[in-house]
Amino acid sequence: MFMRLTDIVGFDKEKRSFELYEKEKGTPDPFGAWRDGRAKDEKEPPFPRSVCEAYELFSKEFNRGKNGDVVLRRFLTGKRRASLAVYMNGMADDTKVNDFILRPLMTFEGERITLKGLLENTIRIGETRRVSSLNEVFLAVMDGMTALFLDGESEAAILETHGFEKRAIGSAENEKVVSGPKESFTESLRTNITLMRRLIHEKDLVAETGLTGGGGNTRLAIVYREGVTNEALLTEIKRRLGRIRTGSILTSGMLGQMIEDDRDSPLPQILSTERPDRAASRVMQGCVCILVEGSPFALIMPVTFFSLMNSPEDVYLRKPLGTMLRLVRYAGAAASVLLPGYFLSLTLYHHGILSTEVLSTVMASRMMVFEPIGVEMLLLLFIFQLIREAGQRVPGNIGQAIGIIGGLVMGQAAVTAHLASPVVLIIVAASGLGNFCIPDYQTQLAASYFRIFAVIAAWMGGLLGLSAAVIAAACHMAGLKSFGVPYLAPFAPRAARKRPLIFRGDIGMHERPDDVTNTSFDGRLEEEE
Residue 366 touches other proteins, criterion: CB under 8 A: yes
Nearest distance in Å: CB 429, other proteins = 20
Q: Near other proteins by CB under 8 A, which window of 73-81, 242-250, 322-330, 347-355?
A: 347-355
Q: Near other proteins by CB under 8 A, which window of 103-111, 175-183, 342-350, 518-526?
A: 342-350
Q: Near other proteins by CB under 8 A, which window of 29-37, 42-50, 469-477, 512-520?
A: 469-477
Distance of CA 357 to the CA centre of its chain: 49
Write the burial class of residue 3 (CB in 10 Å: 0-12 exposed, 13-18 middle, 19+ buried).
Answer: exposed
Give the total of residues touching other proteins (CB under 8 A): 52
Nearest distance in Å: CB 455, other proteins = 13
Q: Which is nearer to other proteins, 13 or 80 (CB)?
A: 13
The amino acid at 203:
K
- Chain positions 369 to 428 lying near other proteins, rule: CB under 8 A, are 372-373
In the beta sheet, which residues pair with residue 290?
A: 222, 299
Distance of CA 527 to the CA centre of its chain: 35
- Chain positions 275 to 334 lying near other proteins, rule: CB under 8 A, are none
Q: Which is nearer to other proteins, 180 or 302 (CB)?
A: 302
- Chain positions 489 to 528 lying near other proteins, rule: CB under 8 A, are 491-494
Rounded Cα gap, residues 471 and 463, in angstroms: 12
Nearest distance in Å: CB 492, other proteins = 4
Report the 10 Å Cβ neighbour count for 92: 26
Long-range contacts of 12-15 (CB under 8 A, 24+ apart): none
Out of 462, 484, 513, 523, the only residue in the binding site for other proteins (CB under 8 A) is: 462
DSSP state letter for 353: G
Q: Which is nearer to other proteins, 181 or 374 (CB)?
A: 374
Give one DSSP letter per residue of 262-294, joined into a string. -TT-SS-SSEEES-HHHHHHHHHTT-EEEEETT
Q: Near other proteins by CB under 8 A, which window of 55-63, 86-94, 139-147, 465-473?
A: 465-473
Backbone phi and psi for residue 176, each to the nearest 5 degrees, phi listed first? -85, 140
Least Cα distance to 90 among 36, 152, 165 occurs for 165
Q: Which is nearer to other proteins, 359 or 394 (CB)?
A: 359
Residue 349 touches other proteins, criterion: CB under 8 A: yes
256: CB partners within 8 A, 6+ apart: 268, 270, 272, 299
First-to-last C-alpha distance (Å) of the chain = 73
Query: Which positions touch other proteins (CB under 8 A)?
Result: 7-14, 347-353, 355-357, 359-367, 372-373, 459-468, 470-472, 474-475, 478-479, 486, 488, 491-494
